[in-house]
Each structure stands twice: as C-alpha cells, then as structure tokens.
Amino acid sequence: MRRRILTSLFLGAAMLASNEMSAQQPAPPNLDAIPEKMPFSNPYGVPIGAERAQSLIQAAAAEATQRGWAMNIAVVDSGANLVAFLRMDDAQLASIPIAEHKARVAAKYRRPTRAFEDAVQKFDFKYILSLDDVVASRGGIPLIEDGKIIGAIGCSGGTGSQDEATCMAGAALVNK
C-alpha cells in the first residue's frame, strides 16, 4: 500500500513537472511571417580603434579575474578584423580561435552569438549551422555606438554563460 502511494505521488509530481516545463517552452517563431522591419539591421560605423578596444578587453578581464575565470578575449572592428586580443594566464589554448570567431560572427551578422545558440537549442533550427562562419554559442556581442556597429567582442574559456558575462562587462563600455 505504502509503495503504491509513493509511486502515485512520484508519477503525479513527474506529470506536474512535465506540464510546467512544457508550459515554459517558448512557442517557435513563425518562419513564414514577414516582419515589417529588418531584424539586426544596424548599419556599420567607423571601426573601433586599438586604444578603445584595449579598454574593453581590460574591463572584460577585470570581470573574469574577479570571478576567478581564465578567459581569452578578442575585439574586432566593424569589418570583423582583429584589433585587440588577450589570453589571460591559464586560459585554455583551444579557446583562442573560438573567442576570435565569436567576435567576428557578432560583427558580421550584427547580433549576439546567443541568437544562434537560442535558434538551435530552443527552436531546433539546425539549418542555422549551415550558414557560413556561424558559431552557435554565446559569448560574442556586437559593439553598437550611436546606432552603428563599430565592432564586436568575443570571449571564450568558460561555459557559455561565463563567456557571455565576461563579454558583457567589456561591451558595457560601448553599448549603453
């Protein structure tokens, strides 16, 4: 009897949790809908300079240091060309090109790389992975000043959320 009650309670809790989880899932966007405005259509502006790019890297590195994270941090200009880079002590070597890639993608596609991650993870839009030079992992953020993209920052070395938090600290100097 006791076993039946426990089994019933367990199954009821599992069904409730399943219903709550499915209710929290966002509805997939309608790919056939035609938006009035172009999404992610900020024009490209004057490229970020080396001195300013270094200040973003220092802000991002300060955030990573405060949290005890070893990161690779890249800043590219509005043409997706590398302007500044930092490999913090003990940051993994494999993350060097990933940080650069995230920054380039954020500049080229004029959107945070998290948009690609969300498209694949939340909506199962695997076709995103067939686009040239895409990285579907958060940690790349465009730098927008006066409505124009002046570059992007990319971070890698931790989890996606750690990479993104590090980038946001640097991007906050430009993105108001």
The tokens for 76 are 């590219």
Whole-prediction pTM: 0.82
- Residue 83: pLDDT band (50, 70, 90) is very high
> Distance between CA 172 and CA 101 in Å, rounded?
20
Is the residue at 58 inside a domain? yes
- The CATH number assigned to the domain holding 122 equals 3.30.450.150
- Dihedral angle sign, alpha carbons of residues 53, 63, 155, 168: negative
Q: Is residue 132 part of a domain?
A: yes
pLDDT tens sequence across 51-82 = 999 999 999 999 999 999 999 999 999 999 99
C-alpha span between 72 and 95 (Å, rounded): 6
Neighbours of 66 (CB within 10 A): 9
- Asked whether residue 4 is assigned to any structural domain, the reply reads no
pLDDT digits (tens, 9 = 90+) for 16-38: 444 555 456 667 777 788 888 88
> Which residue range is the domain that position 126 belongs to?
50-171
Q: Which two tokens stand for residue 24?
A: 């929290």
Percent of the chain with pLDDT over 70: 85
Total domain count for the chain? 1
Identity of the amino acid at 83: V
Instruction: Give domain status of residue 116, yes or no.
Output: yes
Q: Which of 158, 30, 163 is nearest to 106 (CA)?
A: 163
Residues 6+ apart with CB under 8 A from 126: 120
Tell me, yes or no, whether 105 lies in a domain: yes
pLDDT at residue 5 is higher than 70 = no
Residue 43 in any domain: the answer is: no
Q: What is the 3-state secondary structure (H, E, C) of the chain?
A: CHHHHHHHHHHHHHHHHHHHHHHHCCCCCCCCCCCCCCCCCCCECCCCCHHHHHHHHHHHHHHHHHHCCCCEEEEEECCCCEEEEEECCCCCCCHHHHHHHHHHHHHHCCCCCHHHHHHHHCCCCHHHHHCCCCCCCCCEEEEEECCEEEEEEEEECCCHHHHHHHHHHHHCCCCC
Report yes or no on 136 lying in a domain. Answer: yes
Residue that wins the pLDDT comparison between 13 and 120: 120
Is residue 124 in some structural domain? yes
